[in-house]
Amino acid sequence: MGDKLKLNVLVFEDDAEQREILISKIKITGFDTNILFIDPVDYYDAQNDSFDNGRFLETINEKIKGNYVHLIASDWNLFDKTEKCTAIKGIDIIETMLSINLKFSKVQYLLYSSNVDEASKIILERIKENIDSRESDEIATINLLKLIFTARIKFIKRGPHFNEIIQLLKDEKSISSVVLNSLENFDETMVVNTGNGNLDGRKISHFLELIQKNEIGGLKFIKEFTELAIANYTELNA
């Protein structure tokens, strides 16, 4: 087992040079920074002018499987509109992550752009379009509004975003994140059996959700397992 703790950051970036710079710059002493890159352009078929959304979602799921994601960073302009395909902006990435699992509503997002004002304007226009459209699904509109106003989204100009990623990752370090990172290496369907009636019989996925929501049940779970681990190892070394 390595001495370094792992910090996972999921990055959506279509520029290969920018990806190389991120790899070289995003380093935090004492931590293994694991950058999970995804380039939406890889899923575009120019010959047929089509975007393979199914394979795109599949790749995201493969990248995050077994990895507690501490931060999701994305370039604002990822894919330009074509005759048959819509453009992909940073806000679309957030909506995609939430469609995969609502637990990603608790993750810190960083959207970086060469024109932050333009990005903000597009988000406001998107909200207005959903509200004004008679064909708009009411639930979808409510979810989008909730996303914009409650998600942890930070905008920053491209360039300083390298240092901002480092700072946000440092801010995300916590005992809870370490526990989450460890738990996600196990099968979420595993049932807890500690001898504590308040915990036993529930699946690991239940406690993952509680910890992510920072609820008291999740904190009690961390406390119980910390005490069990200390008791076990002190007994072994007695």
Same domain, 116 and 226: no
In the numeric block, the tokens 């526990």 are attached to 179
| CA 69 – CA 107 distance, rounded (Å) | 7
Same domain, 187 and 201: yes
DSSP characters for 65-107? Answer: TT--EEEEEEESEEE---SSS--EEHHHHHHHHHHH-GGGGSS
Question: For the segment 17-38, what is each residue's pLDDT rounded down to a tens digit?
Answer: 999 999 999 988 878 889 999 9
Question: For the segment 99-142, what is each residue's pLDDT rounded down to a tens digit?
Answer: 888 778 878 899 988 776 777 777 667 666 655 554 555 555 55
> Which residues are CB-contacts of 128 (< 8 A; sequence separation ≥ 6)?
none
Containing structural domain, residue 229: 175-236
Provide the whole-model pTM.
0.72
Surface-to-core class of residue 174, CB atoms within 10 Å of its CB (0-12 exposed, 13-18 middle, 19+ buried): exposed
Q: What is the pLDDT of residue 28?
A: 86
Same domain, 168 and 210: no
Surface-to-core class of residue 74, CB atoms within 10 Å of its CB (0-12 exposed, 13-18 middle, 19+ buried): buried
Q: What is the pLDDT of residue 174?
A: 62
| CA 211 – CA 223 distance, rounded (Å) | 12
Same domain, 158 and 184: no
In this structure, what is the dihedral angle of CA atoms 145, 146, 147, 150, given to the nearest 10 degrees? 130
Same domain, 164 and 139: yes
Surface-to-core class of residue 28, CB atoms within 10 Å of its CB (0-12 exposed, 13-18 middle, 19+ buried): middle
What residues in the chain have per-residue pLDDT under 70?
1-4, 116, 123-124, 126-151, 173-178, 180-186, 212-214, 232-238
| CA 117 – CA 109 distance, rounded (Å) | 17
- For the chain, the domain total comes to 2
The domain boundary residue, chosen from 150, 172, 194: 172
Same domain, 93 and 41: yes
Tokens of 224: 């119980």
Same domain, 217 and 114: no
Query: Residue 48 gets which letter from DSSP?
Result: T
Q: What is the pLDDT of residue 1?
A: 44
Domain with 133 in it: what CATH number? 3.40.50.2300
The domain boundary residue, chosen from 149, 172, 195: 172
Q: Which residues pair with 5 in a beta bridge?
A: 31
Same domain, 216 and 228: yes
Same domain, 60 and 96: yes
Same domain, 126 and 226: no
Same domain, 154 and 200: no
The domain boundary residue, chosen from 153, 172, 191: 172
171 and 186 Cβ atoms separated by less than 8 Å: no
Same domain, 148 and 98: yes
